[in-house]
Structure 1
Amino acid sequence: MIEDWSDEVAEIQRRRSHAEGLGGPDKVARQHATGRLTVRERIDALADAGSFAEIGALAGFANADGTVTPANFVAGTARIEGRKVVLGADDFTGRGGSGDAAIHAKQVYSEQLAGQFRLPLIRLLDGASGGGSVKMIEEAGYSYVPVNPGWDHVVANLSTVPVVSACLGPVVGLGAARAVMSHLCVFVEGVAQLFVAGPPVVKGGVGEDVDKETLGGADVHRRNGNVDRFVATEAEAFDVIRRFLSYLPSSVHELPPVTTSGDPVSRADESLLSAIPRSPRRPYRIAPILDALFDAGSVFRYADYGGATVTALARLDGHPVGVVATDPYRGNTLSAAGALALTRLVDLCETFHLPLVSLTDQGGMTIGTTAERAGTLRTGARAISAVYQARVPQAELILRRVYGVGGAAIVNRHTGGRSWAWPSGDWGSLPAKGGIEAAYRAELARSTDPEADLEIIQGRLAPLTNPFRTAEHFGVQDIIDPPREPRPALRVGARRLPATARARGTTQLGNAALVA
């Protein structure tokens, strides 16, 4: 008789079958009843077909009947649009993702694997993400000082590889912390919630009796900066993840991927000639301008919460860039939320070597009591610091306003970066409205007809604020033709010299050429 390992091989298959079953048919049915996919269905929906290679499928808990309850975390490598990534996904059918059904080493390994092998990391979050529960004290027989498993890798990955978190159900505790420790946090409205502690703990701890949606639903996080993108379905969340990754390198040791663009750099768009109204009081739509200036179909909205401050990723002649602009229908100043959105975009571009393009229409920092209570000064100053600390190339096209501290620092004008303006440009320390009243207060106070004298002062200043007067003194580098010149000009901010990937701790990446 020939001895072999057939019995053990059969055992491998039996245990893998248990892992495929997740928390069992009843728990899977309950997951589906809430409108959510299971963890394995999510992986199939996100990853390229047949590309998922699971790691640690046999990890779990042995039962008296010989079965094994799988750990509530599924990890492995996969390909998304052909690019290899690490996937770490919660299984809510295993005790809601809590720590008493977790094998923390799997989760830690997924974070470590992404950083060590320089692969983008995708977290599919649903539940406690391995966070502790009081039940663990009884099972262990003692209490313990909390440790966030693998948090050193979580922190290190943010400066090494693209990290995306998707909130696909109630995300609580450790899971919530991991959600915000990412370069992009996506949230499925009506299905996901995000909170430090769930309703029972909140009720017992602070006496608030709230449901999950009231505590951590989309409306709670719409403008606080915890979540970058809100989507309607899991399928949409996966599309957002795919698009986001397409602009970024796999790690900081590579350059962003350049694609072949079918959109000619020389393309002109006559709609840009009338895109900015002549009346400074009339708003305009920023989306058509973005679509006209950047490669067709390439504009990817980044932060949903920035208010008037629009942040995006886009391509110029196939080169990925970060974009900051203003939505005049929501204002023209830098609010606390807008400053946070700007900071995150600049930090993302600095980390992964994307040039920054500012389509400037910036009326300065938001003013008034609400802005002061929101701490706009500090968040605004932090955004300005991010802009000035960034080493990536910065290019600017001034569409309309450049006023105050916010306008002065939307790009770093102390570098050799290129800047252009449209004829609609309007700039100064303060806007004329309000600024004239402040500067000529004493003169107007002595006047017998303040309104008439105010008009006279405005008339004296009007020709001096003409943008061509600024250009005469080289206060602006160039004023250009809106339909025909912006794309060729801005492409300068996306053109790269030959470069090699940088080693950690060095700056050996080739910079973009910011001169023609």
Structure 2
Amino acid sequence: MDWSQEMRELERRQEFSVQMGGPDKIKRQHDNGKLTVRERVAGLVDSGSFVEVGALAGTAEYDEQGQLKNVVPSNVVIGRARLDNRPVVVIGDDFTVRGGANDGAVGDKMIFAEQMAFDLRVPMVRLVDGTGGGGSVKNIEKLGHTLLPKMKIWSWIARNLSHVPVVSLALGSVAGQGAARVSGSHYSVMVKDTSQLFIAGPPVVERIGQNFTKNELGGSKIHTRNGVVDDEVETEEQAFTAARRFLSYLPDCAQEVAPRGERPAHLPDQSWLRTAIPKDPRKVYKIRPIVESLFDPGSVMEIGKNWGKAIVSGLARIDGWPVVFVASNPYHYGGAWDRHTSEKFTRLVDLAELFRLPVVHLVDVPGFQIGIDAEKDGVMRAGVRALTAVSQATVPWFSLIMRKAFGVAAGGHQNSNRFNFRYAWPSAQWGSLPIEGGLDVAYRAEIEAAPDPQARRSEIEVRVRSLTSPLRSAEAFVIEDIIDPVETRARLVEFAELSAKFRQAREYSLGFRP
């Protein structure tokens, strides 16, 4: 007597699981330009490190004698692995099995994976391709009744967002709960042309008289420009690379400290920064070369490039230390904050707070976006949320005023109720509002009463502008230090070193965003 029969049965069931939806469905997946879930896991994690959990789950078929005929595996693959030699939990949808519909223990496995990441305090990567547990119409006939939407998994998703780094990769057509799982993460990516994201897909939307292709309705060109998804890439392999890079800046969980990377051996020449800001205030400049010059070479990971374009933001390193950075982009509304920019800024501040990453803010802000479109878009509500995020921030903060800092939006360049590092370049200018916008209002009566109103206006402008030099503000200690732009990198390194002691672990409690 031995266990050989049981071992053969186990091996047979394991074979069913790796067969996924069968050769025809796998071929269709490849023909659509997509990898299978097991190919995705292998492409994401360190070779040989994946330990699958629940591989035997599925829908079994037995003959009249109770002997197993076949098992359709669960269309969710979960497990533990290592990613760049760090532990992660991976959960992947298998579109070759029922297109991700909710059977085969899908819901239970999803919840188990979220619990696993939470209790082990390790990051989670979701490979989303389908409805992701939302069920199918066929389930009604199978179950004999309809299900009341509960979203049982969502409490775990929400809890993990305040606990461990979560990355979601949309790798196919995702709808309903699958779409929510993509957006419910710290960082999300779509693959151009092969992935789409919907509240409801084209067949359902057609019923309300709207006829669109999948990409027209929910392609990456839509959702990486409205902020639902952070970034888009060309291939699934690039999505895996983006996930690995994002996680490299973060700790395993909010109770640990983000790892320090390698310190750069060589730095680019900084002298060109002295001429980076044009003397003519009407001329714009490119902010990305400034960002690349100030941070460690090759360390800048921009997040959300295609939305909230009045800021360029993401993750970077200073002398090896990871930081969140936000930099004004004068090429978009002159750097004025619209609603999307405010929302993007708030998300980055929340990320910094959760994982105790210092913030570097490079400021050139003329204020919030103005005009009828801005008012209709609700810029002020989103802007107030951003300002509140700053006022609630407790992480170390470094502000550099490069040029403009005007209005309420500029007031959020840092939390004024606590110590922050703050410097200005000689090109800086600030105030309640720009001279150009406030002169006619403040001196209207004097200008209109003059024999030559235009001459009087010019005279007043020259007089007022002579008082706007940042050096005059420094005399009154309005600004702590004005520095040669070449010195900026050295000040950032000091900031990173002094901030290291404040990267301590803690339990995270998110404040209310009005």
**TM-score bucket (shorter structure):** over 0.9
Query: Which residue does 1:423 correspond to in 2?
Result: 426
Query: Which residue does 1:511 correspond to in 2?
Result: none
Quick one: distance in 2 between partners of 1:462 and 1:506? 45
> 1:222: Cα distance to partner?
3.3
Query: Which residue does 2:276 correspond to in 1?
Result: 275
Q: SS of 1:451's equivalent?
A: helix
Query: Which residue does 2:491 correspond to in 1?
Result: 489
> 1:450: Cα distance to partner?
2.1
Question: Residues 353 and 62 from structure 1, CA distance in 2 versus in 1: closer, same or farther, beyond 3 angstroms?
Answer: same
Which of 18, 23, 40 is matched with 2:21 structurally?
Answer: 23
Query: Which residue does 1:328 correspond to in 2?
Result: 330
- How many percent identity over aligned positions? 46
Which of 27, 30, 33 is matched with 2:31 structurally?
Answer: 33
Question: Residues 98 and 111 from structure 1, CA distance in 2 versus in 1: closer, same or farther, beyond 3 angstroms?
Answer: same
Q: SS of 2:229's equivalent?
A: coil
Taking the TM superposition and a 5 Å limit, the aligned residue runs for 1:62-461 are 62-64=60-62, 66-204=69-207, 206-263=208-265, 269-304=270-305, 305-330=307-332, 331-461=334-464
Quick one: distance in 2 between partners of 1:335 and 1:309? 10
Q: Would the aligned equivalents of 2:50 and 2:81 in 1 still touch at CA under 8 Å?
A: yes
Q: Would the aligned equivalents of 1:357 and 1:493 in 2 still touch at CA under 8 Å?
A: no
> 1:506: Cα distance to partner?
8.7
> 1:102: Cα distance to partner?
4.5
Q: SS of 2:150's equivalent?
A: coil
Question: Which ranges of structure 2 fall in alignment gaps of 5 or more residues?
Answer: 64-68
Question: Residues 497 and 218 from structure 1, CA distance in 2 versus in 1: closer, same or farther, beyond 3 angstroms?
Answer: closer
Quick one: distance in 1 between partners of 2:138 and 2:245? 41
> 1:499: Cα distance to partner?
6.6
Question: Which ranges of structure 1 fall in alignment gaps of 5 or more residues?
Answer: 508-516
> 1:260: Cα distance to partner?
2.4
Q: Would the aligned equivalents of 1:263 and 1:296 in 2 still touch at CA under 8 Å?
A: no
Quick one: distance in 1 between partners of 2:397 and 2:127? 34
1:69-127 per-residue CA deviation (whole Å, 9 max, x = no partner) reads 10000000111111100000000111110113553211110000001110100000001
Quick one: distance in 1 between partners of 2:212 and 2:509? 50
Quick one: distance in 2 between partners of 1:210 and 1:505? 42
Provide the TM-score with structure 2 as the length reference. Answer: 0.95
> 1:223: Cα distance to partner?
2.4
Provide the TM-score with structure 1 as the length reference. Answer: 0.94
Quick one: distance in 1 between partners of 2:508 and 2:60? 45
Q: Would the aligned equivalents of 2:288 and 2:312 in 1 still touch at CA under 8 Å?
A: no
Quick one: distance in 2 between partners of 1:10 and 1:226? 47
Number of residues paired by the alignment?
502
Quick one: distance in 1 between partners of 2:300 and 2:259? 15
Quick one: distance in 2 between partners of 1:443 and 1:99? 73
Question: Residues 501 and 271 from structure 1, CA distance in 2 versus in 1: closer, same or farther, beyond 3 angstroms?
Answer: closer
1:477-512 per-residue CA deviation (whole Å, 9 max, x = no partner) reads 1011111x11121223322454785353699xxxxx
Letter in 2 for 1:296: P
Q: Would the aligned equivalents of 2:356 and 2:504 in 1 still touch at CA under 8 Å?
A: no
Question: Residues 293 and 497 from structure 1, CA distance in 2 versus in 1: closer, same or farther, beyond 3 angstroms?
Answer: closer
Q: Would the aligned equivalents of 2:356 and 2:505 in 1 still touch at CA under 8 Å?
A: no
Query: Which residue does 1:473 correspond to in 2?
Result: 476
CA RMSD of aligned residues (A): 1.6
Query: Which residue does 1:513 correspond to in 2?
Result: none
